[in-house]
Amino acid sequence: MKFLAIALATALIAAPALPAAAANVDIQLLNKGEAGAMTFQPDLVKVGVGDTVTFQPTDKGHNVDIVANMLPAGAQPFKGDNSRPLTETFTVPGIYVVKCDPHYGMGMVAVIVVGDDLSNLEAVKAGKNPKLAQQRLDTIFADLAK
Ligand SMILES: [Cu+2]
């Protein structure tokens, strides 16, 4: 036991300093959430550069897909399969708008802000969305401006 404690202590001292671990945030894909029917929950997430977001198909029949042109310049669009989880790593700072393809018209959208960078806010605000999606995005953008 004493040997084990010494070995453990030595291992801890010998361990090199690790870089700050990347964080992960879960977003649930829901038929009914706090914001109403067909929703990403939460629908506004802020993460650091290099962090991950996992889109969890808590309810089936949903996916996640970048809304065309609603991501920072230089970032790659991404798309998950229906009813499958997707973990995405965000390396380019800025605002990303995602939708669920089957329920985009019902307002199933979410916003991910990476690195507290709002420099493409006007660009994503200028995009066109179905009415219910636009209503939810307007609410999220208003929260962002606070
Ligand atoms: Cu959906």
Spacing, Cα 59 to ligand 1 middle (Å): 9
Spacing, Cα 67 to ligand 1 middle (Å): 14
Q: Please return the burial class of 97, using the count of CB atoms within 10 Å of its CB with bins 0-12, 13-18 and 19+.
A: buried
Note the pLDDT of residue 21.
78
Spacing, Cα 27 to ligand 1 middle (Å): 12
Average pLDDT estimate for 17-33: 87
Q: Which residue has the tokens 């040997």?
A: 3
pLDDT in tens, 66-114: 999 999 999 999 999 999 999 999 999 999 999 999 999 999 999 999 9
